[in-house]
Amino acid sequence: MTDPTPAARSAGSPPGRSLLIVTTVSHTINHFLAPYAHHFRAKGWRVDAAANGAQTDPALAGIFDNLYELPLSRSILDVGGLVRGMRAMSAVLESQPDIVHVHTPIAAFITRAAVRRLPADRRPLVAYTAHGFHFHAGGSRLTNTVFLTAERIAGRWTDRLIVINDEDYDAARRHRIVPDRRLVRMPGIGVDAERYARSAIDPAEIERFRASLGVAPGEPLIVAVGELSRRKRMADVIAAIARMRHQEAKLAIAGEGAERPALEALIAELKLEDRVRLAGNLDDVRPFVAGASALVLASDREGLPRSIMEGLLLEVPVVASTARGNPELVDERSGFIYPTGDIAALAAALDRLLDDPAAARAMGQHGRQRMVDEYEISKLIEQHETMYAAMLAGVDVGPQRRPARARG
């Protein structure tokens, strides 16, 4: 079994409460949750993290008091991985955190099951943020049944269920996954508006990035960011580029995945080698996105996508599918929503943006302001602080209204 012993322990943990953050893989912690560790450690909390790869991820060094390695599988059908994960999680819980906050569904189920096995007087409080339920409209009947059943079972062991989009909020209530008094609606997990600002990026770096992609000054560039998987529907974006009126427009896709060979074949089939670039994984997507005329997200399933938030914060208008979460981020003044899988509609929306560059710039500016107003990381940290305080005080949230969406 993987050693659950912390990789490092600070000399004398700080006084106060303790928080354990759990995810399936360390990448999730590094890219999304580190600001929470900084904040609560600054308040005197002990903040630990547990994930697959946590002890070997150099990006996590020094951010947490303790790092625990968890041999978690990303498949709910991997019985051996589930058993190993349960054993390791049970050992991690010997650190006796006050609150365990878990993200990602496999880690969430295993963690809540391990907490449930503890004696009642030793159980920490448990919060679970669902970054998009794995049961959803359009999912297979089998997959939806498995994941909904798991959520219903584990919901009985959950002190707070946090959902980040309207569809999941409605689903959680409809399926009674947790009582309303334990259901919390938050606008994602936040994004750093100062980091994702055009003023934070050297304009020369943006131009160098465009040149590296073969994009000449003044040429329109469409970008997409995400894993090269079927779920992300990058093939739709490539096909839409071929159908656009603006044949001068170029496309660059940042990301890697199993679909890369199929996408390369499609690019060749459509004779788009001069217009489409697969840029691979990027350490910093900001200059890549900031140099774009538009950002596309074509997925058939999302939670509340950070790529849209980052694009709008960089004042780049967005064209996004009707997948869950996307319409909550993109309004009529910051881009266009099109029916998932409708390649003609995607191409038409991109052409509309390129038809009027001034209007497109205004959309990007409006989008940034909306992201700052509603989704900035400091606001989300404040909401987490309020939620944790209520949990520790034994106060339920009470029934919440579905948040009204600001439009126009």
Domain ranges of the chain: 18-190+377-393, 198-375
Question: For the chain, what percent of residues have pLDDT higher than 90?
Answer: 81
pTM of the predicted structure, to 2 decimals: 0.87
Report in angstroms the alpha-carbon separations of 27 from 139, 147, 164: 25, 23, 20
Residues in the chain where the model's pLDDT stays below 70 = 1-15, 73-79, 81, 398-408
Whether the CB-CB separation of 313 and 329 falls below 8 Å is answered with: no
> How would you list the strands of the sheet with 250-254, edge to edge?
276-280, 250-254, 221-225, 294-297, 318-321, 335-338
Report in angstroms the alpha-carbon separations of 94 from 20, 35, 52, 87: 11, 25, 18, 12
Displacement of CA 220 from its chain's centroid (Å): 27
What is the structure's pLDDT at 404? 45
> What is the Cα gyration radius of the chain?
22
What is the structure's pLDDT at 31? 87
What is the structure's pLDDT at 75? 63
Total Cβ atoms within 10 A of residue 7: 17
In the three-class reduction of DSSP (H, G, I as helix; E, B as strand; rest coil), residue 160 is classed as strand
Same CATH fold, 198-375 and 18-190+377-393?
yes
What is the structure's pLDDT at 7? 46
What is the structure's pLDDT at 2? 39
Q: Please, which residues have CB within 8 angstroms of residue 290's CB and are 6 or more apart in sequence?
A: 198, 201, 206, 314, 315, 316
Q: What span, in angstroms and rounded, lies between the C-alpha atoms of 100 and 17?
A: 11
In CATH, what class is 198-375?
alpha beta
Task: Give me the CATH topology for the region 18-190+377-393.
Answer: Rossmann fold (3.40.50)
**Over the stretch 374-386, which tens digit does the pLDDT of each residue have?**
999 999 999 999 9
Q: How would you classify the pairing of strands 294-297 and 221-225? A: parallel
Contacts by residues 264-271 (CB-CB < 8 Å, ≥ 24 positions apart): 266/235, 266/238, 266/239, 267/238, 270/238, 270/239, 270/242
What is the structure's pLDDT at 398? 54
What is the structure's pLDDT at 1? 35
Pair of tokens at residue 18: 């303790």
**Over the stretch 2-34, which tens digit does the pLDDT of each residue have?**
345 444 434 343 457 999 999 999 989 988 999
